[in-house]
A = this chain, B = another copy of it.
Amino acid sequence: MNKIRAWQMVGKDHPFEKVELPIPKLKDDFAIVEVSGCGVCHTDLSFWHYGVPTRHELPLVLGHEISGTVVDGPTNLIGKPVVIPAVMPCGECDLCKAGRSNICQKQQMPGNDFHGGFSSHVITPARYLAEVPDATLLNHTLAELAVIADAVSTPYQVMVKSEIREGDFAVIIGVGGVGIYAAQLAKIFGGNILALDISQDKLDQLGQVEINNTLNISGMDIREIKKAVKEKCREMGALSNRWKIYEMSGTKAGQELGYALMGIASTLSIVGFTMDKLEVRLSNLMAFDANIIGTWGCKPELYGNVLELVSEGKLKIKPFTKSFPMSQINEIFQQTLEHKLMKRSVMIPDFE
């Protein structure tokens, strides 16, 4: 290996270009990972199409959901299958020391701060690489585990932060590429799950993970949805308070619904992102003793737990991912943009 081969973003909406990049001398505490797979995330579309600037200037190789094998770096890691955390903290600053490493202001994100995973190899900080246990690879390809770095780890941290417990009524608003894992995880944490979406196809997918309480809210107004959700809660025998509400859709309508569903001792988690504003009576939070949690990324130290859940077969990723040769990157980005793909796409390097 003399060069890294990669698909590089050169400009907004421009086709990705296949390039060769030199391999610089490897710094201490860095590793070279040979990419097995790299997931296509909505954040990649934000960079490529929606005009969100990458922190590192263009041209840049995108991709932050990466799995692969360490081929150079710390000797104890060489040859190990790993997932590269989507955000890697510095480990030293006030935020890291205060247990808030997921929002570390010196954090490094592949495909944003440095060349990412749509590539043959990634040069990455080594400190937080998540080793994949052998058990996980008995029933998964290393490539498909790429989606753990973001699509799965982010909702995992959300569950931890929302303090969901056995018996809690958990409402998932939006069961797309990340919501599908939020629903599974909320169930694993003991919640009684009700999934809401405007797409019947997405709701139907949940049957594969034995989540059967769903509500197609297409065309309903907030008052109707609220009434229907309360009825479902009663039917399911779930608790009438302490609702855990997870806003995964990243839409104004979803956030308005999430806010309206809050009641006594509720926790609303904001996971999806939208620039839209909405009008709220903030004092409701006081009257309900409720709270709203915004949550960014996932601490690297939680990746081990996620990998364990996948190994044990409790958390299913296989039905919700689909692999493509990386040379199809331009078609796949376009199709993702047009919402033509139901499953999370994982791009597999095919440079030879």
Contacts and interface: CB of A to CB of B under 8 A. Distances in A.
A151 to B, nearest CB: 15
Contacts of A217: none
Interface stretch (A2-10, A284-292, A321-329): A284-292
Nearest to A247: B282
Given A100-B289, A279-B277, A95 B241 contact: yes
A130 to B, nearest CB: 20
A96 to B, nearest CB: 11
Given A255-B282, A265-B95, A277-B281, A291 B294 contact: yes
Given A270-B286, A277-B280, A292 B291 contact: yes
Interface residues of A, number: 44
A281 B270 CA distance: 11
Interface string A184-214: 0000000000000000000000000000000
Contacts of A347: none
A278 B279 contact: yes
A103 B290 CA distance: 10
Contacts of A278: 279-280, 282
B259 A282 contact: yes
Interface in A87-108: 94-95, 98, 100, 102-103, 105
B282 A270 contact: yes
Interface in A276-321: 276-297
B294 A284 contact: yes
Contact of A103 (B102, B265, B270): B265
B281 A242 contact: no
A289 B241 contact: no
B277 A286 contact: no
Nearest to A241: B95
B265 A274 contact: no
Interface centre among A270, A275, A284, A289 (most CB of B within 10 A): A289
Interface string A263-278: 0110000111111111
A95 B276 CA distance: 34
Contact of A281 (B94, B275, B284): B275
Contacts of A105: 241, 264
Contacts of A280: 277-280, 282
A242 B94 contact: yes
A264 B95 contact: yes
B273 A283 contact: yes
Nearest to A292: B292
Interface of A: 94-95, 98, 100, 102-103, 105, 165, 239, 241-242, 250, 255, 259, 264-265, 270-297
Given A95-B264, A103-B264, A284-B294, 6 more contacts: A98-B242, A100-B242, A102-B289, A286-B294, A287-B294, A291-B292
